[in-house]
Amino acid sequence: MDLEDFKDDDTTAGGHIYLHQQRQKLHYLRLIEHEMPQLVAFRKPFIPPTTANPVVVRSIWYGGEEHPATAKRVLTVPLSRLPLKDEHAFHKARLLAGPRWTPTPPKDSGLKAEEGEGKGFIKISCEDFPEPAMNLKWASDTLDRLVAEANRNSEQFKDVPFDRRHLDAKVAKAKQGKRKQDMAGGAGRYAAPPSIKDFPKSWLPQPARPVSAKQ
């Protein structure tokens, strides 16, 4: 293949890359200057959600780029705002939610601790379906089934203790070194992690008395 000799009338490959970067920067500067002011027409005042809309839905968007996480939907709701009939129903809802219940709001939920009113928060996520609406529908239906089951014969579970292992595991994973007593309520005195010293002495086998030798 015959190529013309270089006559010093063009820049190098690195120079073309630099020019491309400058053109790309100029393109976005023009968008900022001419297009972004028009977005003011779509401005809406922020209205805090009321008790009629207690559910917070979180989604992930990568600016139009395809990514598996864009179909995921995360649903978070304060337990106190759910239509549960009594305290036994609240307790049963915590039992049914299991590790999806936490005494403090998830960091990515946008909720405040005061909104839980001491009853905690439930977080349900789904990314099993290809469409975002399908994942949100599954999470919403799961929450509806949880509320319906918690209100049905909730008294029979009032003596079942709440499993707090997922809360203790989260604290241990953070390597905080100390854990709070009564983690579910978020209150209590700080105490050192349990050790061999905390083992009940009444559970230890009694040592056998030495038998004296017969004369």
pLDDT, one tens digit per residue, over 165-184 is 888 787 777 665 455 554 44
CATH number for the domain spanning 62: value is: 3.30.160
Residue 51 lies in a domain: no
Count the residues in the chain. 215
Residue 214 lies in a domain: no
Q: Cα–Cα distance between 116 and 82 in angstroms, integer?
A: 11
Residues of the domain holding 63: 56-161
Q: Cα–Cα distance between 50 and 42 in angstroms, integer?
A: 23
Mean of pLDDT over the chain:
83
Say what the pLDDT of residue 158 is.
80
Say what the pLDDT of residue 195 is.
74
pTM: 0.60
Q: How many domains does the chain have?
A: 1
pLDDT digits (tens, 9 = 90+) for 120-175: 999 999 999 999 999 999 999 999 999 999 998 867 788 888 888 888 787 777 66
- The one-character DSSP state at 185 is G
Q: Which residues pair with 56 in a beta bridge?
A: 76
Say what the pLDDT of residue 178 is.
52
Residue 175 lies in a domain: no
Residue 27 lies in a domain: no
Residue 104 lies in a domain: yes
Residue 131 lies in a domain: yes
Q: Token digits for 183?
A: 């983690």
Q: Which residues pair with 77 in a beta bridge?
A: 122
